[in-house]
Structure 1
Amino acid sequence: MQTATVSQQDTGLDYLRRILLAPVYDVAKETELTYLSRLSKERNNQIYLKREDQQPVHSFKLRGAYNRLANLNEERKARGVVAASAGNHAQGVALSAQKLGIEATIVMPITTPEIKVQSVRRLGAQVKLIGTSFNESNSAAIQLAKDENRVFIPPFDDKDVIAGQGTVGKEILQQLPDADVVIVPVGGGGLLAGIATYLKQLKPSIKIIGVEAEDSACLSAAVAAGKPVDLPQVGLFADGVAVKRIGSENFPLIRAFCDQIFTVSNDEICGAIKEIFEHTRVIAEPAGAVSLAGCIRYSQSSVGNEKIVCILSGANMNFHTLRYVSERCELAEKKEAVLSVTIPEEKGSFKKFCQIVGGRVITEFNYRYGDHKQANIFVGVKLTHGESDLTKLVSDLSEHYTVEDFTDNELAKLHIRYMVGGQSPVKLQERLFQFEFPEYPGALEKFLDTLGGDWNITLFHYRNHGSAIGQVLAGFDVPEEEQLNFFRHLKALNYSFKEETNNPAFKQFLQRFA
């Protein structure tokens, strides 16, 4: 980034005036600054969250939308407004229009979850579902505004929108005048441009950092090119910052007043969502947690003992995304590893593997019988000391087996872990069972030990979900003449079990017939 020139200073002063005069508090509220005590101690910094989840629409977007609408003259207000959005901007415009008595139409992609569509309609706006992506909806909204002589309200690339978002910076300086660092999520750049422009003029020593999702890094691309450019595609996990091109009005302000930018992965974002929940009991949306993910990365190399403010920019989480977040957050924090391990196909192999793993908690275990010589297992293991624990675990296992670390393998984490299995290439006299057992450290090893080694295990799936009960799906090769003894043994184990051999899902996808 660069030092502001005279013309940029003049521009900055104009924005300073706009921010100070922005009437956002007619509808928005001054949000809290929450101190994260445990994370601060762990990261050797004083870390605060600026709680924009507390806004009436649970996002900072209300500030910019209201400032844009409030600054329209009466003639333009009477014409009505049009906006395009799949979420937070839509709700910000809808509530602002309702407050000001303006007719609003929001164009949303047809893929928008129904809960978001209904939220906008409840705020009094008309919704039109057009296109399969934001870009298509945005183009349709611009055309609709022209056709119906309405005012188009952009989500970020606009002076009044930027100024409205800049009021977040005004509050930060009032609430924590001695802040050292402010970390801001970046989508189209409106929030970063507004906050940086305000803070840098009133406190030049403060450090402003912009953080992007690595699969939507349009600001980084613009910096590399020296101008805004289109990304060929963007990731949709952090949909609130999934923007292909940085705002043309925003980019010069960011170059002038932002000190540093970097990107974070989806796993890091998931880890930040978990941190926010553990401190505040708020479930941040992925875009809302980007800033804290950046803070955790920044703290790894910071000088320490800095006062850092992160923007929790929104909490409009799609409920079904929680499953993905839960799976990935432990990996982001280096509290879990996923490995591929090749073990001998012989009785007692599972138990020996668990013994080598030691006291570590096994979080997942996937296996399907392949041949008579060796078996490939996909296993998750909880780590107690991060990278050092992972290094030792791989070293210990490598003394006995062939091991591959898949902790950073996106394909393995996203797809392969759920696809381990298939029909056995060998015809088996196979019986399938579900088991339940009390969950505690070492419980899986004890379960395998109690299960015994008299019958060959042909299929095994286990996943630790943090509940009091562990659940295992296991298959056994049981010859006809041994089935009576097998069932006597199962009943003597004193574990809850249910046979699933005739389950149609097993028959269709996993069972091999002659």
Structure 2
Amino acid sequence: MMSEVTQAHEAELPCGADYLREILRAPVYEVAQVTPLQSMTRLGSRIGNQVQLKREDRQPVHSFKLRGAYNMMAQLTEAQRQAGVIAASAGNHAQGLAMSGKHLGVKATIVMPRTTPDIKVDAVRGFGGKVVLHGGNFDEAKAHAEMLAGQHGYTFIPPFDHPAVIAGQGTIGVELVQQNSHLDYIFVPVGGGGLAAGVAVLIKQLMPQIKVIGVEAEDSACLRAALDAGEPVTLDQVGMFADGVAVKRIGEETFRLCQQYLDDSITVSSDEICSAVKDIFEDTRAIAEPSGALSLAGLKKFAERHQLKDKQLAAVLSGANLNFHGLRYVSERCELGEKREGLLAVTIPERPGAFLDFCHILGGRAVTEFNYRYNNDSLANVFVGVRLIQGQEELDSIIADLRKGGYPVVDLSDDEMAKVHVRYMIGGRPSKPLKERLYSFEFPEYPGALLKFLNTLGTHWNISLFNYRNHGADYGRVLCGFELEEQDLLSFTSHLRELGYSWKDETDNPAYQFFLAQ
């Protein structure tokens, strides 16, 4: 039975009606925008549902965090405003706080880890915030912020675990039901839980028939851990790809609300997030940060898992503050997240024509990547990517065909180390002397281009090195090594002309000589 102390504590906590009132009276539109609910017709057609995207990336700070920060700061007393506010953040909360402080005339100090990228530090300063760089991680920055708050009398503005912050984020829910009152499901990202709690409590007061689903990254699922334990727990570590939701422990109040008002939750992988970033770009031309695309990744996975059809689904694009160079990783991984590419390790015999036989077994499917380096006179291991149309079922069929053809094969599509590291480390120096020449090619990106190359060159001279990756351009770059005697050069050059592809002799390239040549 609940103790009297616990009962008294529960009685002090805001109820759903309290939150509804606070959300409806939140003054966030003094700085925030009513963001569009944009249809994603391309994705919707593909998955058989109406999909809409709540564009919180369109806020002045490119994130929903402005709503919660401003709502709490607007409620400060005059004495608190005069003293100033402080927060610890390496991301969107920092920018929301800085802009809110500038609008309200309140001094805002943000403690950021020393490792914070300059682009984020400069953005906070651009909104008028004072930046203090301290510590090597968020926990150290937060401890320093709390110490400064005690020393100077600053009010600490938490990123998620406060009723005023939660109510500010909940204004998104009001806009959603105003913009489409026929929604069946709303998908919200979960980090510390402020956005999910605010939207869920609002929706369940106004339109409880709408299902609200929380979405977490697999490597930072603090809500899932808390639900399993029945209370907030601290994760040992979290992945930083979706850094906007990389939270080790969900808030006490946000967990209470999520546990009570969320209808369900789901976790997604980094590859699935990358796929959602691509979907957002293809439908809207917007570029979401990974945590910003999190809820759409959950929408897709949930719709497939529960076989949803002809439903009206909405996801919150929560932010677009990303490091531009991170798009290289997103581009590399999005096809894997959509099950449109499979990665395989295949053992092939070291003989002329073996590569061609291997490609014939693939049946004309587009090869997206091929990494190979001669090792010995018997066998060679290759790392190959294959474009898929029918997802895992097609990949299973390819694996079965290869094994039937006598090629040992291992599926590496879900092997994180293979995808992040090993694929770029295939190669090295040959184990025996080779009379090798190196050539670069530009392959036209159309079916059969690789087979034409192999039919023209691969059965005449042994290929000793091969690297190719499709990056979405009209031409793919290929690096290829051949075992060639001096007397073979004239005939080999004749075959190159017959091939018709752009090529260049790279044998004297210093990078090749330094890292790969005998």
Q: Matched residues in 1 for 2:374 and 2:136: separation?
A: 42
Structure 1 counterpart of 2:468, from 462, 465, 468: 462
Partner in structure 2 of residue 339 of structure 1: 344
CA pair 500-303 structure 1, distance change in 2 beyond 3 A: closer
Percent of residue pairs identical: 57
Partner in structure 1 of residue 363 of structure 2: 358
Q: Which runs of 5+ in 2 are unaligned?
A: 1-6
Q: Matched residues in 1 for 2:279 and 2:318: separation?
A: 15
Partner in structure 2 of residue 68 of structure 1: 72
CA pair 77-464 structure 1, distance change in 2 beyond 3 A: same
Partner in structure 2 of residue 310 of structure 1: 315
* 1:269 and 2:273 matched: yes
Deviations 1:353-396 (A, max 9, x none): 22221221110010000111111111101011112221221122
* 1:173 and 2:177 matched: yes
Q: CA deviation at 1:479?
A: 2.6
Matched letter for residue 104 of structure 1? A
Partner in structure 2 of residue 511 of structure 1: 517
Tell me which moved more, 179-188 or 146-155: 146-155
* 1:16 and 2:46 matched: no
Structure 1 counterpart of 2:221, from 199, 217, 224: 217
Partner in structure 1 of residue 432 of structure 2: 426
8 Å CA contact retained: 1:8, 1:256: no
Partner in structure 2 of residue 348 of structure 1: 353
Matched letter for residue 268 of structure 2? V
Structure 1 counterpart of 2:441, from 409, 422, 435: 435
Q: Matched residues in 2 for 1:476 and 1:495: separation?
A: 16
Partner in structure 1 of residue 108 of structure 2: 104
8 Å CA contact retained: 1:216, 1:244: yes
Q: Matched residues in 1 for 2:210 and 2:501: separation?
A: 60
Q: Which runs of 5+ in 1 are unaligned?
A: none
Q: Matched residues in 1 for 2:56 and 2:433: separation?
A: 59
Q: CA deviation at 1:487?
A: 4.0
Moved beyond 4 Å, runs of 4+: 5-10
| 1:73-92 pair list within 5 angstroms | 73-92=77-96
- Give the superposed CA RMSD: 1.7
| 1:40-59 pair list within 5 angstroms | 40-59=44-63
Partner in structure 2 of residue 324 of structure 1: 329
Partner in structure 2 of residue 495 of structure 1: 501
Q: CA deviation at 1:9?
A: 9.5
Q: Matched residues in 2 for 1:295 and 1:443: separation?
A: 37
Partner in structure 2 of residue 382 of structure 1: 387
Tell me which moved more, 296-305 or 219-228: 296-305
Matched letter for residue 477 of structure 1? E
Structure 2 counterpart of 1:398, from 399, 403, 420: 403
* 1:369 and 2:374 matched: yes
Partner in structure 2 of residue 293 of structure 1: 297
Q: Matched residues in 2 for 1:8 and 1:496: separation?
A: 74
8 Å CA contact retained: 2:452, 2:499: no
8 Å CA contact retained: 2:40, 2:283: yes
TM-score w.r.t. length of structure 1? 0.96
Matched positions, count: 508
Q: Matched residues in 2 for 1:9 and 1:99: separation?
A: 30
CA pair 177-251 structure 1, distance change in 2 beyond 3 A: same
Q: CA deviation at 1:505?
A: 2.2
Deviations 1:161-183 (A, max 9, x none): 10100000111111111211111
Q: CA deviation at 1:492?
A: 5.0
Tell me which moved more, 35-44 or 175-184: 35-44
Partner in structure 2 of residue 122 of structure 1: 126
Matched letter for residue 415 of structure 1? H
Q: Matched residues in 1 for 2:497 and 2:312: separation?
A: 60
Tell me which moved more, 300-309 or 337-346: 300-309
Helix, strand or coil for the counterpart of 1:249?
helix
| 1:181-220 pair list within 5 angstroms | 181-220=185-224
